[in-house]
């Protein structure tokens, strides 16, 4: 699968040397931004010419390293640095962005991983083979299906579930893939890429405000949230806004609003998050009491049992508030996902690596999903490091992280890689 290393007799000693050129990572991020962005932000939508251009740019960088480069059947781009064992340590990120995206989401880890590969490539052969992967279509920004390449590699992609997807211009997903030499029905062959994987590490911007509020550059990620997403339909009775006394109303919106506030308290008590992102009233005119109201409720927690409790409490509150407001309430589940817990020992190693370069570390869950969740669900020990996002912003051209924090993040990833190589061997 890969050539055995001529340096394979040398003993691997974890290096404390930080001969990494972390400044180069910041420069390369800027270079990619200039090459594939415009005044509105990053434009590396997956399966477009701009994304292919980014992939080609990365291939040019990889060509100068002692690595084997390849594109797998799902469009994922791999660089393999042979080690003394065919077992692999994977480092992953994604070059694709949302439209008008930021300069760091996804590509930070690809370029930090590139620097770590350069560093490793200049030393004696590592005990494990080290592979950098740039996953295809993490964002799902064009076709609405996130984590395409990583789910294909993890064995979770069902071609028939995505075959009907079209972009805003009416282009079918399968046609966009074919234009990039990816056959949707063969994308699952990417599964063999994980065959020898011993561990997976991913560095990412936090995309939230927690680390900045704590004044910390870096954190170790515990896993990704479980999600329960529901549509709630409240039905009361429309009546005149002027002639109906307050105690004679069956106001569907008032009931929905009380449930929304109660769901917020439930989340605060449980240490989770809860969002009512949409509220629609009928008839929706200024002079009528709403007879019907629909809201969406999105609840998240890292612990599946706690989330089930949050949902049960929200249902109880909705029933009691509905009785009180003389309306009915129906629930319809839109979507759910179980939590993904990262590997406890790898979380410890990431924490040690963060403390080594930043002095302190905070452990935090991830609200957004990441490719790491797919890899972890495939049973591969996985962990992530977050670096602070200024003002918690992401998926906008205003997304930013201090350059000195980016440099610390590269060093932390390098330290986590060193520790994980020692752990896995």
Kindly report the number of other CB atoms within 10 A of residue 170's CB atom: 7
Under the binding rule (CB under 5 A), the answer on residue 356 touching Zn ion is no
Please pick, from the candidates 96, 105, 115, 294, the single residue that binds Zn ion as defined by CB under 5 A.
Answer: 105
Nearer to Zn ion, 105 or 137 (CB): 105
The pair of three-digit structure tokens given for residue 19, joined into one six-digit string: 């001969």
| Local structure of 332: helix, strand or coil | strand
Smaller CB separation from Zn ion, 211 or 307 = 211
Report if residue 92 touches Zn ion, rule: CB under 5 A.
no
In terms of CB distance, is 206 or 356 closer to Zn ion? 206
Instruction: Mark the segment that binds Zn ion (CB under 5 A) among 103-111, 157-165, 174-182, 244-252.
Output: 103-111
- Nearer to Zn ion by Cβ, of 294 and 400: the residue is 400
The torsion region of residue 411 among left (phi > 0), alpha (psi -120 to 50) and beta comes to alpha
Which C-beta is closer to Zn ion: that of 251 or that of 374? Answer: 374
* The binder of Zn ion chosen from 41, 106, 113, 126 (CB under 5 A): 106
Q: Say which residues have a Cβ less than 8 Å from residue 214's Cβ, sequence separation at least 6.
A: 362
Nearer to Zn ion, 143 or 234 (CB): 143
In the complex, minimum distance from the CB of residue 127 to Zn ion, in angstroms, rounded to a whole number? 29
CA separation, residue 57 to residues 25, 50, 77, 111, 208 (Å): 14, 10, 12, 11, 29
Under the binding rule (CB under 5 A), the answer on residue 137 touching Zn ion is no
Instruction: Report in angstroms how near the CB of residue 377 gets to Zn ion at its nearest.
Output: 17
Nearer to Zn ion, 105 or 399 (CB): 105
Q: Which stretch binds Zn ion (CB under 5 A): 100-108, 236-244, 274-282, 416-424?
A: 100-108
The torsion angles phi and psi of 306, rounded to 5 degrees, stand at -65, -40
Q: How far is the CB of 404 from Zn ion (least distance, A)?
A: 21
| Shorter beta-carbon distance to Zn ion: residue 28 or 105 | 105
Q: What share of the chain is helix, strand, coil (3-state, %, to 5)?
A: 40, 25, 35
From residue 27, alpha-carbon distances to 22, 33, 54, 66, 67 in Å are 9, 10, 15, 22, 22
Element (H, E) at 321: helix 304-325
Interface stretch with Zn ion, choices 102-110, 159-167, 359-367, 380-388 (CB under 5 A) = 102-110
In the bound complex, which residue of the shown chain has the CB atom lying closest to Zn ion? 106
Question: In the complex, what is the shortest distance from the CB of residue 106 to Zn ion, in angstroms, rounded to a whole number?
Answer: 4
Judge contact between 347 and 220, C-beta under 8 A.
yes
Which of 131, 64, 130, 50 is CA-nearest to residue 95?
A: 50
- Give the shortest CB-309-to-Zn ion separation in angstroms: 30
Determine how β-strand 226-235 pairs with β-strand 292-301: antiparallel
Give the span between the Cα atoms of 90 and 198, in whole angstroms. Answer: 8
Q: Closest approach of Cβ 144 to Zn ion, in Å? A: 16
String of contacts with Zn ion for each residue 52-91, x by CB under 5 A: ----------------------------------------
Q: Which is nearer to Zn ion, 106 or 223 (CB)?
A: 106
Q: Find residue 70's DSSP bridge partners.
A: 78
Q: Report how far Cα 142 is from the mean position of its chain's Cα atoms.
A: 16
Least Cβ distance, residue 55 to Zn ion (angstroms): 16
Closest to 424 (Cα-Cα) out of 194, 202, 220, 196? 196
How many residues touch Zn ion under the rule CB under 5 A: the total is 2
Stretch that binds Zn ion, among 13-21, 31-39, 105-113, 180-188 (CB under 5 A): 105-113
Q: Which stretch binds Zn ion (CB under 5 A): 83-91, 98-106, 178-186, 254-262?
A: 98-106
Span from 104-112, 168-176, 275-283, 401-409 in contact with Zn ion (CB under 5 A): 104-112
Inter-residue contact 247 to 302 (CB < 8 Å): no
* Smallest distance from Zn ion to CB 208, Å: 13
User: Shortest gap between Cβ of 279 and Zn ion (angstroms)?
Assistant: 29
Q: How far is CA 207 from CA 105, 334, 363, 388, 406, in A?
A: 8, 24, 15, 8, 14
Q: State which residue, 203 or 289, has the beta carbon closest to Zn ion.
A: 203
Token pair listed for 251:
């106001």
Residues that bind Zn ion (CB under 5 A): 105-106
């Amino acid at each position: 699968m890969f050539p055995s290393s001529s340096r394979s007799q040398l003993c691997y000693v974890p290096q404390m040397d930080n001969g990494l050129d972390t400044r180069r990572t910041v420069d390369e991020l800027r270079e990619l931004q200039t090459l594939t962005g415009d005044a509105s932000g990053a434009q590396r939508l997956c399966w477009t010419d701009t994304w292919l251009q980014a992939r080609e740019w990365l291939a040019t960088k990889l060509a100068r390293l002692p690595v084997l480069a390849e594109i797998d059947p799902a469009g994922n781009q791999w660089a393999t640095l042979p080690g003394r064992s065919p077992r692999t340590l994977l480092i992953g990120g994604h070059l694709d962005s949302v439209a008008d995206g930021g300069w760091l989401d996804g590509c930070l880890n690809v370029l930090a991983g590139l620097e770590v590969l350069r560093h490793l490539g200049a030393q004696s052969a590592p005990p494990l083979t080290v592979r950098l992967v740039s996953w295809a279509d993490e964002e799902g920004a064009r076709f609405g299906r996130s984590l395409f390449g990583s789910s294909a590699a993890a064995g979770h992609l069902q071609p028939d579930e995505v075959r009907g997807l079209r972009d805003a211009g009416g282009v079918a997903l399968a046609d966009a893939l074919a234009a990039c030499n990816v056959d949707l029905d063969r994308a699952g062959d990417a599964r063999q890429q994980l065959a020898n994987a011993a561990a997976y590490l991913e560095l990412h911007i936090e995309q939230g405000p927690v680390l900045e509020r704590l004044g910390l550059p870096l954190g170790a990620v515990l896993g990704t949230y479980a999600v329960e997403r529901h549509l709630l339909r409240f039905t009361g009775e429309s009546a005149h806004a002027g002639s109906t006394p307050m105690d004679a109303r069956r106001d569907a919106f008032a009931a929905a609003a009380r449930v929304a506030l109660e769901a917020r308290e439930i989340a605060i008590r449980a240490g989770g998050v809860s969002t009512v992102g949409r509220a629609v009233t009928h008839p929706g005119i200024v002079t009528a009491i709403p007879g019907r109201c629909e809201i969406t409720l999105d609840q998240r927690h890292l612990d599946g049992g706690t989330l089930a409790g949050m949902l049960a409490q929200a249902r109880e509150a909705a029933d009691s508030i509905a009785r009180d407001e003389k309306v009915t309430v129906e629930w319809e589940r839109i979507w759910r996902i179980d939590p993904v817990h990262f590997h406890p020992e790898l979380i410890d190693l990431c924490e040690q690596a963060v403390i080594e370069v930043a002095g302190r570390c905070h452990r935090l869950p991830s609200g957004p999903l990441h490719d790491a969740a797919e890899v972890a669900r495939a049973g591969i020990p996985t962990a992530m490091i977050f670096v602070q996002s200024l003002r918690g912003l992401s998926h906008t051209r205003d997304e930013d992280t201090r350059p000195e924090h980016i440099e610390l993040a590269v060093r932390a990833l390098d330290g986590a890689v060193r520790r994980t190589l020692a752990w896995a061997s």
